[in-house]
């Protein structure tokens, strides 16, 4: 399954392991901690691209992904955004060697580069949909995903996942595209 493609209606999909660079933190999107971690992630990723190119494994950076959660029973939309937790993630091609990551992280010109990790995770079965429009309108799309979960007898089984297909600084709602994804399992 292509991790950068989703239908306009919620659908069940399956994903195997994803390997890439990740940085974790807490705070609102666009806040100080988020921006520091975001910059560190791209500093290491840029260095890794350079190392890979020198070793015959050039690649383009993929879309940014974010997995989000709150440590509360309330909806994230009912919580102050400063209390949101996240993992920012950039997938890597299989051709990237672990030792290249070590070299890139050590050489990255960013003080938070040591926070960037090479990780692998597996989501398995998920419900996903393509959200068109601004991030503030996501609750409507998430409600459609939730209805699909109920119709298919599934429940959430992991972190809310977003794949940012548009430029993160895009402000034209007509151009904004985000895949919304949620790991699921059968309801017991």
Three-state DSSP string of the chain:
CCCCCCCCCCEEEEEEEEEEEEEEEECCCCCHHHHHHHHHHHHHHHHHHHHHHHCCCCCCCCCCEEEEECCCCCCHHHCCHHHCEEEEEEECCCCCCHHHHHHHHHHCCCCCHHHCEEEEEEEEEEEEEEEECCHHHHHHHHHHHHHHHHHHCEEECCCEEEEECCCCCCCCHHHCEEEEEEEEEECC
pTM for the predicted model, two decimal places: 0.94
For the cut 90, the answer to whether the pLDDT of residue 72 exceeds it is no
Predicted pLDDT of residue 78: 83
Q: What percent of the chain has pLDDT over 90?
A: 88
Predicted pLDDT of residue 145: 97
Lowest-pLDDT choice from 19-33, 55-69, 73-87, 145-159: 73-87
For the cut 90, the answer to whether the pLDDT of residue 173 exceeds it is no
């Amino acid at each position: 399954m292509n991790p950068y493609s989703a239908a306009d209606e919620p659908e069940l999909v399956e994903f195997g392991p994803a390997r890439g660079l990740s940085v974790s933190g807490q705070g609102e999107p666009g806040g100080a901690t988020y921006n520091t971690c975001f910059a560190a992630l791209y500093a290491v990723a840029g260095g890794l691209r350079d190392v890979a190119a020198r070793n015959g494994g050039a690649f383009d950076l993929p879309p940014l992904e974010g997995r989000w959660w709150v440590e509360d029973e309330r909806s994230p939309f009912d919580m102050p955004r400063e209390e949101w937790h996240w993992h920012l993630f950039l997938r890597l091609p299989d051709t990237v060697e672990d030792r290249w990551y070590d070299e890139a992280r050590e050489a990255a010109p960013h003080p938070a580069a040591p926070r960037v990790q090479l990780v692998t995770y597996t989501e398995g079965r998920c419900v996903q949909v393509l959200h068109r429009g601004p991030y503030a309108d996501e609750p409507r799309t998430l409600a459609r995903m939730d209805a699909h979960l109920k119709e298919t007898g599934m429940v959430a089984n992991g972190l809310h996942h977003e794949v940012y297909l548009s430029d993160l600084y895009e402000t034209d709602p007509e151009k904004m595209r985000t895949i919304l994804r949620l790991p699921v399992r059968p309801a017991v």
